[in-house]
Every structure is written in structure tokens, then in C-alpha cells.
Chains A and B, each alone.
Chain A
Amino acid sequence: MTAAAISKVSGRDADFGAAPIALMLLVPITIVNLIGFVLPVANLAILSVSEVRSSGAMTGGWSMAKWLLVATDPFYWELLWNSVRTSLVITALTLAVSYPIALYLHRSTGLWRNALLVMVISPLLLSAVVRTYGWIAILSDQGLVNQGLMALGASEPVRLMFNLTGVTIGLTEILMPYMIVALLAGLGRLDPRVEEAAATLGAPPWRVFVRIVLPLSLPGIALGSLLTFVLAISSFITPKLLGGGRVFLLATEVYDQAMVTLDWPLAATLSIIVLLVFGVALALYGRILRSIG
């Protein structure tokens, strides 16, 4: 046998050795996922087609009643549309305020950069509940903003809470760290030399931004937007507290049906719909990534 043939054979042996190890490493996460995700989802799916009495007790039989209700009652369509639209608005706002911060962070260096990174990430160490109460202190009728406005001569407080405005403001701020971190990861591709090359070729700063910086940060934008959208549409504490029961979104409705009305099959049906929205968002993300190349 020639040397080349020998090395080929041993190379193939190495491949055979590598595959089982990779599979073995996947075993724990597969088990965790089965127990923590697949089983509960299957459980929800079963629950959503379970028959219940008006008391809430299960009969043990099957029923499509909740799916039919959700499909035919315009309230639930509006709920879905409201949730998607609000989450999209929150995503767009989060992107708009996070992008300049991420770009600035990407360009800063040394101690200053580390200090800024800590400032960006540290809110994640605080529970969303606490941060939401912080926003209540700012946005309520007696809050900081309205006190300021009254001091400036406003006759009536501006309604910033118990409506979509408050929910949008609160969630935008709460989700910013995720967006900034995702954008930063995406900006890693942006070599300052490439921007300089564009400048020496005659591109003024705004054209460098449009032709170079923005296209190269698209993967980060896509990832950050996916993350923010998914977190926004599934968040429930902030809409609950800042919405004060007057803002109806999918996640809050799931909670109300499960914990207040005790209509578990309906809660399960709505949960599965949230999951379907995730699926659509993920598919869209995949398509965008592929079109970016």
C-alpha cells in the first residue's frame, strides 16, 4: 500500500472516531430538551384538545372547542394581531436606540469599553419585576415624568401607564441589553480597515455607513431583532404591571386563562399559537440570513 493510501485510510478511521463522540456530547442536551421542552409542549398540545366541563374539570374526552373558539372569535384575532404588532414596534424601537450604542461600543477600546459593557449588561442582573416597578415610578400619573411636566405648567398628567405606550416604553428598555449584545456580536465582522478603505476611495462618512457598516451589521440586526421579538411577544410581567390589566396581549391572556379563569385548554391553545408565531419568526430569520449570504 502506498503512503497516500495509508493516510487516507487512517483519516477515515479518525472520522469514524469523531462522529460517535459528537453524538455522545449531544446526548445530555437532547435529554434536557426532551424533558424540558418537547414533553411540556406535547402536554400543552394534548391539553388544548381536552374536553372540560364549565367547572373547569376535565372529562377525559377530546374536544376542538377551544381551537374553534380561537379561530372564530374576532377577539382572539385581534389579540394575536395586537401582540405581533406591539412586539414588532418594540423590536423596531429597541433596534433604533440600541444600534448607535452598539456601534459606539464596538469602536471604543480599553477600560472605557469594559465600563460601558458592564453598564449595558448589568440591567440583566436585575429582575424584570424590579425594573418594571422602576418604570412605574417614572411613568405613573405621579411619576417623575408627569411631576416634571406639571412643574413646567401642564394642567393634566399625560397617560403613560395602563396603556400600550407604557408597555412599549418599559419593554423597549428591558430588552435593550439583548439587542445590544446581539448587535455587538454581529459587528465583530466590521474591520475598521474596511471602513478606512471606503473613505480613501472617496466615500464620505454617511456613505461609508450606508454601503459598508449597515450591510455588514445585518446579521447582528437580524439576530437581535429575532431575540427581541421573541422575548417581547412572550413577556408577561411587564405588560401585566405596566398595562394594569387594560392591555391585552397573548402572554397576559395565557396567564389570565390559566390562573384566573382556570380555562387550561384555552390557555394551552393560546400558548401553542405563541409557539407558532415563534416558528414563523425563526423561519423568517433563516430566510433573511440566507439572503444576506
Chain B
Amino acid sequence: MMHQAPTDMTVAAAGPRAGQGYLSLQGLTKRYHDFLAVEAIDLDVAQGEFVALLGPSGCGKTTTLRMIAGLVPTSGGRIVVAGQDLTAVPPHKRDMGLVFQSYALFPHMTIAQNVAFGLEMRRLPRMEIAARVAEAVAMVRLEGREDRRPAQLSGGQQQRVALARALVVRPSILLFDEPLSNLDAKLREEMRSEIREIQQRLGTTALFVTHDQDEALTMSDRIVVMSHGRIEQIGRPEDLYERPATPFVARFVGRTNRFTGNAHGTTIRLGDLAVRAATQRSGPVEVMIRPHRVALAAAGCVPADGLNSVTGIVRRTTYSGDFVQYLVDADGLTFMVEEATVGHGRIAPAGTAVTLTWAPADTLVYEAAP
């Protein structure tokens, strides 16, 4: 198994400088009575960028999105788009497209009327409305269904109508609130790439709320991880995955091994085991190791210089097509190890004695939670 060269944990995430984004959230706050739903969020999104807001249910994603759309009044902070402060502007003057989790189509209108609605509000000439509706309907592949009512369409089709309805007005920003969570798994994956493709083709700036890490990782230029109304980390998908800034991000994005231990410089004691990290620390720490960063070899193999190495016994082997997951007992700890099945001939059955190796840089060390 290949290992990347150890990378600097402080690599700056791509993205506009603070306050310089096409969309700029500055200290955005929402308080419900004395409950802080969103706490002083700072975020800058470049024009044409696709940014996901990722976090567990109840962490304030929807509230943030609805504040941007103007549907929920803010309790503090500013919302700036293209240099213009929109914080106090009513929703119908914000020029944003919002795609709801529940689609929120107009049940009494046909598909064509649904899509035309935003253009009619902008008082465009009839001919242009017809042309743009046809174009948008074609873009989401719903030609021939223009005269149906929303109730006559499947969930996926309704979702595409909602997308067309928001896109057709060419909004300054497209906002999505978990738009795929009501679709089945296969359709969801199709829609991911469809939404991403259309967004890139039109160059629209997009903010996409989801609690699904796969969705966020596969669709976004950058991801904002939120927890309890606060931003945990902003970064490219690979930044979050390989260099999670906080234990929360490490746990929430991807699978991980979690241990607690004591650090002395780059050496960390995990019970009877001593492992090395790339960063200096001292005192109680939380240690995370990504299962796909650990290599598994037959016991007795001599590890390359500088690698961490642990011997253990395979307790359970789970084959899941594109990778194999092992649970390995080693010195009183249990390691989860994942190996890609590609080019990997042998699968170690339970009971096999193995050696686990990983690079010090892949030992992610965090201060222990107080």
C-alpha cells in the first residue's frame, strides 16, 4: 500500500480571503430565545464555487441557509453578496434560488407553470419566458412532461423540477437544503452528478446543505463542517479527509480508529503500545488513525524504516466488494484496517497473525477533550 508523503497540517484551504468572497457571511448568528442555533459563522465563497455545509442533524445548517435566503431573520452578523449587504433585504429581492428538501413545488400549477413562476415575477416578455422554460425543462430532462402536475411525477422528477425552477431565473446563488435526502440510493447518486454538472456548466455559485458525508465529499469544491452551530473546519474534501482539524471532523467525515493516550514529544503511549506521530505534543491526547492508511502484512514482515508497526491477530474479516475491512486485536487495542481489493490477491482470514504499519504522519493527534 502506497503512502503519501507526510503533509503539513497547516496547509491553507483554497478559497477567497476573509470578507472577500462573492458570498460572504460575517459573524452570522441566530438565536432562538437563549438557544444559539448558529454562532458567529464566517464563510467566504468564491463565484462559481460549490460549497457543502456538512454536519449532523440539528447543527444549524438549515438555519444558516434560510438566513442567507432571507427566510429567517438574523440575530447578528452580515450577509454580503457581490459586495452588497443583503442582511436586511427581503427574500423576494435577494435573487437566490432555493431548492427545498420537500421540493415545495406549487401543487396547483403544471411543471411549465412552476418553472415559469420566477420569470413571471421578473416580468420578462412571454416569448422569452417560454424559451427559457423550455431550455430549463430540457436541462433537467423533463421534456414532454411540461403539462403534468407535480403530483403526477416521481420523487426524482419532482426534484428536477425544483432544480429547474430555481435555475431558470439564473440566481446569483443556488441554495440547496438536503435536496436528495428523500430519494433512493441509486437516484441520489445520479442526481449528485447531474446537479454538479449543471452547476459547473452554468458557473453558478452554490451552497449545498447535507448531513451525508459522501454527498459532500463527491460534489464539493470545499466543505464546511458544522457542529452545534459552529464551524469546525473549512477545506477541500481531501483536506477534511486526510487532515481533519478537530476530533469531531475526524469522527464525522470517514471512518476512523480512536484511541486515547499520553504524548511525550512525537511518541504517544496507547496502553502498552508506543506509536509515533509527526507532530510534537505532551500530555493526554486523543489519537485517530484512518483505517485505509494502515497497511496489513503477514506477521514477521520487516517494516520499512520510520513506520509505525504493530503485530496482532485478525479477529474479523469483512469483504465488501471494493475493499476488505479487518478488525485486528493488538496489545489490548482493536484496529480497524481497510485495504482496497484491487490488485490484492489474498484476503487474510480471521485468526491470521499480521503486522500493521502506518506512517507517523497518519497518526492524527488531538488534545484530549477536557
**A67 and B97 alpha carbons, distance in the complex (Å):** 65
The answer to whether A193 touches B100, judged by C-beta atoms less than 8 angstroms apart, is yes
**A212 and B71 alpha carbons, distance in the complex (Å):** 17
The answer to whether B121 touches A201, judged by C-beta atoms less than 8 angstroms apart, is yes
Considering the complex, give the chain B residue whose CB is closest to the CB of A204: B92
**Which of B95, B106, B107, B108 touches A202 (beta carbons < 8 Å)?**
B95
Judged by a CB distance under 8 angstroms, whether B61 is at the interface is no
The answer to whether A201 touches B105, judged by C-beta atoms less than 8 angstroms apart, is no
Q: How many of A's residues come within 8 Å of B, CB to CB?
A: 21
The answer to whether B121 touches A207, judged by C-beta atoms less than 8 angstroms apart, is yes
**Which of A194, A202, A215 touches B118 (beta carbons < 8 Å)?**
A202
The answer to whether A199 touches B91, judged by C-beta atoms less than 8 angstroms apart, is yes
**A94 and B93 alpha carbons, distance in the complex (Å):** 35
Bitwise, B102-124 to A at CB < 8 A (1) or not (0) is: 10111110000000011001100
Considering the complex, give the chain B residue whose CB is closest to the CB of A202: B121
**A215 and B149 alpha carbons, distance in the complex (Å):** 15
The answer to whether B118 touches A201, judged by C-beta atoms less than 8 angstroms apart, is yes
User: Given that A201-B169, A202-B118, A202-B122 are contacting pairs, would A194 and B91 also be in contact in the complex, using a CB cutoff of 8 Å?
Assistant: no
The answer to whether A193 touches B102, judged by C-beta atoms less than 8 angstroms apart, is yes
Judged by a CB distance under 8 angstroms, whether B255 is at the interface is no
Judged by a CB distance under 8 angstroms, whether A189 is at the interface is yes
The answer to whether B165 touches A194, judged by C-beta atoms less than 8 angstroms apart, is no
The answer to whether B104 touches A193, judged by C-beta atoms less than 8 angstroms apart, is yes
**A197 and B169 alpha carbons, distance in the complex (Å):** 13
The answer to whether B102 touches A200, judged by C-beta atoms less than 8 angstroms apart, is no
Judged by a CB distance under 8 angstroms, whether A191 is at the interface is yes
**A191 and B71 alpha carbons, distance in the complex (Å):** 14
Judged by a CB distance under 8 angstroms, whether A293 is at the interface is yes
Judged by a CB distance under 8 angstroms, whether A78 is at the interface is no
Bitwise, A155-189 to B at CB < 8 A (1) or not (0) is: 00000000000000000000000000000000001
Within 185-222 of A, Cβ neighbours of B (below 8 Å) are at: 189, 191, 193-194, 196-205, 207, 211-212, 215-216
The answer to whether B107 touches A216, judged by C-beta atoms less than 8 angstroms apart, is yes
Closest 4 CB pairs of A and B: A202-B121, A201-B118, A193-B104, A197-B104
Interface residues of B (CB under 8 A from A): 69-71, 90-98, 100, 102, 104-108, 117-118, 121-122, 149, 165-166, 169
Please list 19 pairs of residues, one from A and one from B, whose beta carbons are closer than 8 Å in the complex, sorted by A's number: A193-B104, A194-B105, A194-B106, A194-B107, A196-B69, A196-B71, A199-B92, A200-B92, A200-B94, A200-B98, A201-B92, A201-B118, A201-B121, A202-B122, A203-B121, A205-B92, A212-B106, A215-B108, A293-B149
